[in-house]
Amino acid sequence: MGQRVGIEVSIALADAVKLANVDVIAAYPITPQTHIVEHLAELVAEGELDAEYIPVESEHSAMSACLGSSAAGARTFTATAGQGLELMHEVLYVASGMRLPMVMAVANRALSAPLSVWGDHSDAMAVRDTGWIQIFTENGQEVVDQTICAFKITEHHKVLLPVMVHLDGFNLSHVIEPIEMPDEKDVCEFLPFNRSPLTLHPLRPVAMGDFAPPVVFTEAKWAQEQAMLNVKDTILEIWEEFAQKFGRSYKPVECYKCEGAKTLLFTMGSFSETAMTAVDKLRDAGVNVGLIRLRLWRPFPFEEFRAAMKGVETLLVLDRAISSGGPGGPVASEIKAALYNEVEKPRIVSFIGGLGGRDITVTAFEKIIVDGIELAASGSGREYEMVGVRE
């Protein structure tokens, strides 16, 4: 078994990347991701990790360097946040379109303006259609475990799609938590290096990222989409294998006190643990409420999500991003879309809160649940409710 240590989550993530024995790291430091790449740079400089650390001049270059190293067959890692992820945006499509395996840690941060470096899901939502697998983590242990799983997922021959591991900026990236770091030997066994079937090599010439005229582009995109549709089964297998080896099991949709609950609160990321405390308190007070949280955001686990919605009357969705001028929260609108054709579906109340690092406390969660149940019964007519905004 691994060793239980008290460690900052960013440092633990960097150590997990070291355990995965990466070959190339190309990254540009940006708050709140800085500690991750700083620690990796130290590990490489001190000779503890035999990898190439490429200090690039921007995130656009970081992702471009990662494309090259992944195409050459190297195990590749990068990390970014907020504006940095947006600067990478166009290259993200290239990475997924070229089916290049790589892992990126995203310390979620708000997008300017006004300038904010604090936690928010706006950056993750802005890149949700880029063809990357997106996993949202809740605590430090999960960050470490999912980072290790991410390398196995991305390199699986049925997947070959890049993976983002999301951790909330500051709320998760900068906290010190007790984490069980897996043994190097176990990680080595779990993560044998799977070379991509198609890599650049002088003896086997191949052209990657070619020009596709209208006559083949649709077919190429459909081939990529088929891979994405198959991803969930592979992820489930890998999570099961992880559970066998390390004893911690993960599911795409996780339920907390959902049995018989008429009202469910829906969250993603580090808010879920605070929300659990609020659910506990309200359950004690006799309110029939549970918590559902999504770990796998792309591909969206439709089956598991719909199964969890059986018998639920009210769903209160908390978004940490705004779909400006649209239906309110991007997560809530996808959930509405996922349930629209169902015969029995819950009433959905969309909340937006926790923007730009604003804390949502246990008390605030209790208010969200109480207000949400009332709004679902009466209906405010608004598309969404803003949590804790001063009028």
Partner 1 sequence: MAKPENELTWKDIETGAAVTEPGSAAGYRTGDWRSQRPDYDFSRCLKCGICFVFCPEGCIRQNQRGFYEADLYYCKGCGICAYECPTRVIKMRDEEEK
Q: Rounded to an integer, what distance in angstroms lies between the CA atom of residue 372 and that of residue 368?
A: 6
The 10 Å Cβ neighbour count of residue 222 is 10
Pick the binder of partner 1 from 18, 99, 121, 295 (CB under 8 A).
99
Among 45, 176, 206, 377, binds partner 1 (CB under 8 A): 206
CB-nearer residue toward partner 1: 215 or 343 = 215
Per CB under 8 A, does 359 bind partner 1?
Answer: no
Q: Residue 138 belongs to what H/E stretch?
A: none
Tell me whether residue 58 or residue 226 sits nearer to partner 1 (CB atom).
Answer: 226
By CB under 8 A, tell whether 207 contacts partner 1.
yes
C-alpha 26, offset from chain centre: 20
Q: Mask: binding to partner 1, 103-122, rule CB under 8 A, as x and -?
A: --------------------
Return the residues of window 16-45 that contact partner 1 according to CB under 8 A. none
Binding segment (CB under 8 A) for partner 1, from list 36-44, 197-205, 352-360, 365-373: 197-205
Q: Which residues pair with 315 in a beta bridge?
A: 264, 348
Task: Answer yes or no whether residue 98 interacts with partner 1 by CB under 8 A.
Answer: yes
Q: Is 215 in the site for partner 1 (CB under 8 A)?
A: yes
> Who's near 126: CB < 8 A, 6+ residues apart?
85, 86, 89, 111
Letters for 224-263 (x = contact with partner 1 by CB under 8 A, - = none) are: x-x-------------------------------------
Total of residues contacting partner 1 (CB under 8 A): 24
What is the spatial distance between Cα 266 and Cα 262, in angstroms, rounded to a whole number? 13
Of the residues 192, 202, 211, 259, which one makes contact with partner 1 according to CB under 8 A: 211
The residues facing 179 across adjacent strands are 5
Which of 45, 115, 188, 223 forms a contact with partner 1 (CB under 8 A)?
223
Tokens of 347: 């009433």
Contact between 192 and partner 1 (CB under 8 A)?
no
- Angle of helix 9-19 relative to helix 34-45, nearest 10 degrees? 40
Kindly tell me which of 211 and 340 has the beta carbon lying closer to partner 1. Answer: 211
Q: Does 361 bind partner 1 (CB under 8 A)?
A: no
Q: Is 191 exposed, middle or buried (0-12, 13-18, 19+ CB in 10 A)?
A: middle
Mask for 41-80, x = binds partner 1 (CB under 8 A): ----------------------------------------
* Nearest alpha carbon to residue 245 among 177, 178, 166, 188: 188
Among 46, 210, 259, 284, binds partner 1 (CB under 8 A): 210
In contact, 374 and 349? CB cutoff 8 Å = no
152-181: which residues touch partner 1 (CB under 8 A)? 160
Q: Is 115 exposed, middle or buried (0-12, 13-18, 19+ CB in 10 A)?
A: exposed
Number of residues in the chain: 391
**Contacts with partner 1, residue ranges (CB under 8 A):** 97-100, 160, 197-198, 205-213, 215-216, 219-220, 222-224, 226
